[in-house]
Amino acid sequence: MNPSVKSRREELQALMRLAVPIAIAQGGQALMGLVDTLVVARAGTSALAAVGLAHNLFFAISSVGIGLMMGFDPLMAQAFGAKNPDRARALLWQGAWAVLAVGLVLWGLLLTLPSLLPLVGYQEEALEGTRSYLRWRAPALIPLLFFLMFRSYLQSAASVRPLIFATVVANVFNLGLGIVLVFGGSVLPEAFGPLRRIPSMGANGSALATLLSTVLEMGILFGAVRALGRPGVSHNWRPRWADLSQAARVGLPIGLHLAAEVGIFSLAGAMAFRISPESMGAHQIAISYASVSFTIAMGIGNAGSVRVGWAVGARNTPQARRSGFTAFVGGACFMLLSGLVFAVFPRQMAQLAGAPAEVIPLVVPLLMVSAVFQVFDGVQGVGAGVLRGTGATRFTFVANMVAHYGVGLPLSLWLGFGLGLGVLGIWWGLCAGLICVAFSLVWRFHRLSAGVLRPLEA
């Protein structure tokens, strides 16, 4: 008997029920970075440039850990698709061990990296603000990875309401605390009494607020995961090398792919920093906006990953194909609307970000470039998700390396420095790389789903 396949309408409805909460949670992570940028931008151009470079370094390093944790995504989703929730719970325990091991290594690397930048031409005095910010921001790495692991389990179990609650609470907390810590308690009304004596920490206050907010949302999801526990079912909490190595085989290409993708944008930020503080500030504001819209598309991709993983676990390849292409269409449609907003309101968005007067003329054209590549960025973000649901993660890494570093980077260097277009030329190079990745991932999923998709643990 042929396996059942949902109609396009039914699949879209099922995808959106899962995608909206996941996308809100995904966007909430980027929103914290955007809030940091909006708050720090009002502290001056130099502070914005220092925080921008620190953000680039943090996400370049943390992306490796995030990708490794995503190696558990298809394993958990396929376990639930195979009606084996106990296996998914056992994988969650193994994920916790992976978080501790990977998080500690990357934390040390993150604190060391700024000391290496003078070797590639950065001035020591220009890096002091970046180094200071990272001392407060780096401890957030481990709770961030735990948050992502809990999120993977909850979305695979279709328990997504806690994601919305955690995201809303953490972002409200981050905004209020960030303003107080950056500018000091004097910004509070008299009724707050002793809290008005909190000293101003400048940009470091934004890092501390984000750290505490990440711990808060991790704690909320931990409570939700505990509530889903099955009484009387015990699990081996000791490390199982077979599980860890299998997750690493799937997750390492994801980590390398994310590092390649984040790395190219971080490299673009480093090039902008070399041009001028104003260019770096413009890059940081534009990338913060683009990150918010992209993470919504990634949320749709994560939902597509779960839907595809469920179908693969149930050995229903036609349903996996329907789920994947529905996710592609949903991501493209959302990013088309996002691109229209970027194209119509670039100056208003720059002003909303509190960009200094000398930065606004640089931000506006970058937002216009972002409007052009929104759809392609969304398609490649969704493509990474649906391919992850099948367990096929190596191609995504190769596609990102070839497109970004074989196409995008040379174009960025030529346009930005060879033709003298500055940060605008750098962004057009990034746009070319994203277009290449998008087309390659759609082609790869089409080829894979035309055959038979088998579970990773078959």
- Per residue of the chain (458 residues), give pLDDT as tens: 456 787 888 888 888 888 888 888 877 776 777 677 667 766 666 676 777 777 778 887 888 888 888 888 888 988 888 888 888 888 888 888 999 999 999 988 888 877 776 666 666 666 777 788 888 888 989 999 999 899 989 988 888 889 989 988 998 898 888 888 877 777 677 766 676 777 777 777 888 888 999 999 999 999 999 888 765 556 667 778 888 888 888 888 888 888 888 778 878 887 888 888 788 788 878 887 887 788 888 889 988 999 998 999 888 999 999 999 999 999 999 899 999 999 888 888 888 877 777 778 888 888 898 888 898 999 999 999 999 988 888 999 999 999 999 999 999 999 988 888 888 899 999 899 999 999 999 999 999 998 888 887 65
Question: What distance in Å separates the CA atoms of residue 435 and residue 439, rounded to the nearest whole number?
Answer: 7
On the CB side of 201, CA atoms within 13 Å amount to 18
Amino acid letter for position 213: S
Angle at 268 between CA 202 and CA 250, to 5 degrees: 100
- Give me the sign of the Cα torsion angle 60, 70, 162, 218: negative
pLDDT at 254: 86
Query: Hey, what are 117's tokens?
Result: 């930048």
Q: How far is residue 149's CA from residue 136's CA, in Å, rounded to a whole number?
A: 22
C-beta of residue 266 within 8 angstroms of C-beta of residue 405: no
Q: Find all residues with CB under 8 Å of 175, minimum gap 6, and list them.
A: 35, 39
The residue to which tokens 């921001």 are assigned: 137
Q: Taking the domains of the chain in order of start, what are their residue ranges?
A: 8-449
Residue 231's pLDDT is: 57
CB atoms inside a 10 Å sphere around CB 294: 26
Q: Which two tokens stand for residue 70?
A: 């995503």
Q: Show the tokens assigned to 173.
A: 């907390």
The residue with tokens 């367990």 is: 391
Neighbours of 185 (CB within 10 A): 16
**Cβ-Cβ contacts under 8 Å for 54 (sequence gap 6 or more):** 129, 130, 133, 134, 137, 207
**Per-residue confidence (pLDDT) for residue 219, from 0 to 100:** 95
Q: Identify the pLDDT of residue 357.
A: 76
The span from the CA of 67 to the CA of 262, in Å, is 11
pLDDT at 142: 93
Element (H, E) at 268: helix 241-275
pLDDT at 251: 86
> What is the reported pLDDT for 282?
83
pTM of the model: 0.78
In sequence order, the 6+-apart residues with CB closer than 8 A to the CB of 172 are: none
Residue 206's nearest CA partner among 28, 34, 24 is 34
Give Cβ neighbours of residue 143 (< 8 Å, ≥ 6 apart): 211, 214, 215, 218
Size (the chain), residues: 458
pLDDT given for residue 458 in this prediction: 57
Q: How far is Cα 160 from Cα 187, in angstroms, rounded to an integer? A: 36
Cα–Cα distances (Å) from 449 to 303, 316, 392, in that order, read: 17, 10, 11
